A and B are shown apart, each in its own frame.
Chain A
Amino acid sequence: MERLAETEGVTLARNIETWEKRLALVREHAPGTSSENLCTAWRDYYTRIERARDEGKKLAWVSFFAPLELLHTLDIVPFNPEQHIIAYLARGEEHELFDLGVGAGFSKSCCSPHLAAVGAAKEGLLPRPDFLLSTSAPCDSNAVMFKTFQYLFHTPCHFIDNPYRYDDEAIRYLAAEIRDAVAFLEEHTGQRFDIDKFREILRISNSIHRYHCEINDLRKTSPTPLRGKWAFSLVSLKYMSDGTPATLRYFEALHRDIKERVEKGEGGVPEEKRRIMWNGVFPFFHMKLLDWIEDEFQAAVLAVLSYDDFFLAGNTEWDLRDPFLALARKMLFYSGICFLGPFSHETQMKGLIKMCREMDVDAQIYFAALGCREGCGYMRLFKDTLKREVGIPTLILDGDPGDSRVVSVEQMKLKITEFFRMLEGV
């Protein structure tokens, strides 16, 4: 019982309570802003999950980049355990779940949010799924985690195979995979898939995407209007709740707010001296590190993860005549976020180089996350290529996304300080 008390923060009830409190604060101090929409969207996301069972709805655990639009069409409630754990780690509550994950037999050297998610699942801290829906993107560790969930819950699990390249054949292949997923979902819900409703939901996703592209364009201005942490939170919501009216309302409001900030010349970092590209995941247990960089060095943190629409930027109007092809195209692009995706190094580098040039960045911080094979494998190639092609230096920042015991915050700060000193030429 003591163990459960220590991990109480991971429960849905705690999340709903947290977002309710934030919403109340926003309504008091900044009513009518996009922050209000953000809090509402998150609160509703968690509430839907908590009430799913009582409302007779199926609950599906999903991976990042899973086609949420399919689930919304069939009125299935999606729950992303990895994101949920990341949000939990971001509150600085940790360690216990890693040990539980190890106890469940998951390797300590795997991705720590995955390890913690397995620990929470094994301990019964998360709502039990009716079935699991995962994609092979963004990484093998994700696939292994979903297989472990299947083993723990004895639940049906469907995998969608993301191809390793982006071309017409790959899109057709993925569209077929999505159709297979529909068959799986129909079988486990006993419902017929409504193609017109599906198309309507995709229209919402397309509108969200359009706003996201415009927001990213606005972020190119100097000073950039968003702080790094804030920019990350917008993709986080999209990954969890794409295709929903609540997410669309948030993006609409955020676009309005940011446009206003740009027009007034207001930056996330008031005296922006530098622009740093943060490549990779973050030390979620201490997201304040981003604030620290921005305040200590007047360096705006621009993040690859929050530029997931970059690849799709030229495609703001989706062709919905074949909605499965449209969804396949979206999934392939989204899962291609720079370093994590299934794309080849050349494709990723091309995107990153273009992004660094358009964003006018001065340097890159590459977060080499322990346990992230995909992320760490490319670090030297990214570093050397950006130096050669864009002329910017890279700091390889070793760390862990969830476990503060691997590299301490102080050690990271020391390295970052050295890096900025180097940029300044002391």
Chain B
Amino acid sequence: MLYGGCDVGSTTGKMVVIDGEGRIVASSIVEAEVVCEDTAMLALKTALEGKELNQDDIAYTVGTGYGRVNVPFARENISEISCHALGAFSANPQIRTLIDVGGQDVKAIRVNERGGVEDFVMNDKCAAGTGSFLETTCRRLKVPIDQLGPLSLESKNPVKLSSQCSVFAQSEVVSLIAEKKALVDILAGINASITKRLVSMMHRISLEPEVAVSGGVAKNIGLCHMLEEKLGLKLASVDADPQLLGALGAALYARRRAERKADG
């Protein structure tokens, strides 16, 4: 029996298919389409490609992410905070604090010893600190987003960004270029600015180790390195692609739901 989790975010769609033991048998990460339903269908199709699986093999699917109500093949939807918590917990049961940096929001989550949510905070007043902030700033600097992390690690003298606002930060970056600041130092400054926000969010929920990062930003090694420095601890590794943790959690919830239904 297979179970699916589909995480439709603002910038990407993710699909995870697991077996009855919770092992990932198929997955995908696709760029978001304009319409959420299209993103979900593309994520599903991409995950199943070359796997000799089809949609009917998946007994139960849960949708998550901001587009969770628009996943056509999902039987129900569950919020991404719950899904990220369970996904991260299943990938490393020692995790107690999780920071999920999504395209349009950031969440700090305290995870309990059963993979449930103990507490959480979300940013919701602005885009500062989100994946969108990184993307737009990198675009302004003509740096591919996947190069942000490695390049920032080359910096010896990160600049200090004073603007928290994504829009004003763009102007500040332009000024820094005009001042002939080194590109790597600007990139490190961008990571440092986000790191400070993430750390303060984690402290709001009484940070407790182990700490992990989920979402696409977890692949930014420069930011992870700074987080470790600021927190004075090593980030926990997870036994899955960190960008897939939300979809994995959704798939695990799908398995629970299906089993509960089967038990009557």
Interface residues, chain A, with chain B CB atoms under 8 Å away: 370, 380, 393, 396, 398, 406-407, 411, 414-415, 417-418, 421-422, 425-426
Contact = CB atoms under 8 A, between A and B. Distances in A.
Given A380-B204, A421-B78, A422-B117, 20 more contacts: A370-B125, A398-B124, A398-B125, A407-B125, A411-B124, A414-B122, A415-B122, A415-B124, A418-B81, A418-B82, A418-B117, A418-B120, A418-B122, A421-B82, A422-B82, A422-B116, A422-B118, A426-B78, A426-B116, A426-B117
Nearest to A408: B124
A415 B118 CA distance: 14
B79 A407 contact: no
B161 interface: no
Contacts of B125: 370, 398, 406-407
Contact of B119 (A393, A414, A415, A417): A393
Nearest to B80: A418
A418 B79 contact: yes
Contact of A421 (B117, B118, B121, B124): B117
B3 interface: no
Interface residues of B, number: 16
Nearest to B110: A422
A417 B204 CA distance: 20
A396 B121 CA distance: 8
B133 interface: no
Contacts, number: 41
Contacts of B119: 393, 422
14 contacts: A380-B204, A396-B121, A414-B122, A418-B81, A418-B122, A421-B79, A421-B82, A422-B81, A422-B82, A422-B116, A422-B118, A425-B116, A426-B82, A426-B253
Contacts of A415: 122, 124
Contacts of B116: 422, 425-426
A407 B125 CA distance: 6
Interface in B187-234: 204
B210 to A, nearest CB: 20
Interface in B115-146: 116-122, 124-125
Interface of B: 78-79, 81-82, 114, 116-122, 124-125, 204, 253
Contacts of A418: 79, 81-82, 117, 120, 122
| Residues of B contacting A: mostly | mixed
B120 A422 contact: yes
Contacts of A417: 79
A414 B79 contact: yes
Contacts of A411: 124
Contacts of A406: 125
B134 to A, nearest CB: 21
B227 to A, nearest CB: 22
A414 B104 CA distance: 14
A414 B102 CA distance: 15
A393 B119 CA distance: 8
Nearest to B120: A418
Contacts of B81: 418, 421-422
A426 B79 CA distance: 10
Contacts of B120: 418, 422
Contact of B124 (A393, A407, A425, A426): A407
* Chain B CB within 10 Å, residue with most, of A393, A417, A418: A418
B131 to A, nearest CB: 17
A411 B125 CA distance: 9
Nearest to A400: B125
A113 B81 CA distance: 33
Contacts of B78: 421, 426
A196 B118 CA distance: 58
A414 B124 CA distance: 10
A417 B82 CA distance: 11
The 4 closest A-B pairs by CB, nearest first: A422-B117, A411-B124, A418-B81, A426-B82
B197 to A, nearest CB: 14
A426 B116 CA distance: 7
B63 to A, nearest CB: 14
* Chain A CB within 10 Å, residue with most, of B78, B82, B114, B118: B82
Nearest to B118: A422
A415 to B, nearest CB: 6
A405 to B, nearest CB: 10
A396 B81 CA distance: 15
A22 B221 CA distance: 61
Contacts of B124: 398, 407, 411, 415
Nearest to A396: B121
Contacts of A425: 114, 116
Nearest to B66: A414
* Chain A CB within 10 Å, residue with most, of B81, B118, B121, B253: B81
Nearest to A407: B124
A380 B203 CA distance: 11
Nearest to A426: B82
A398 B105 CA distance: 14
A415 B117 CA distance: 13
A396 B253 CA distance: 26
Nearest to B79: A418
Contacts of B118: 422
Contacts of B204: 380, 396
Contacts of A398: 124-125
B76 to A, nearest CB: 11
Nearest to B121: A396
Nearest to A422: B117
A393 B121 CA distance: 13
Contacts of B122: 414-415, 418
Contacts of B82: 418, 421-422, 426
A426 B117 CA distance: 9
B172 to A, nearest CB: 21
* Chain B CB within 10 Å, residue with most, of A411, A415, A426: A426
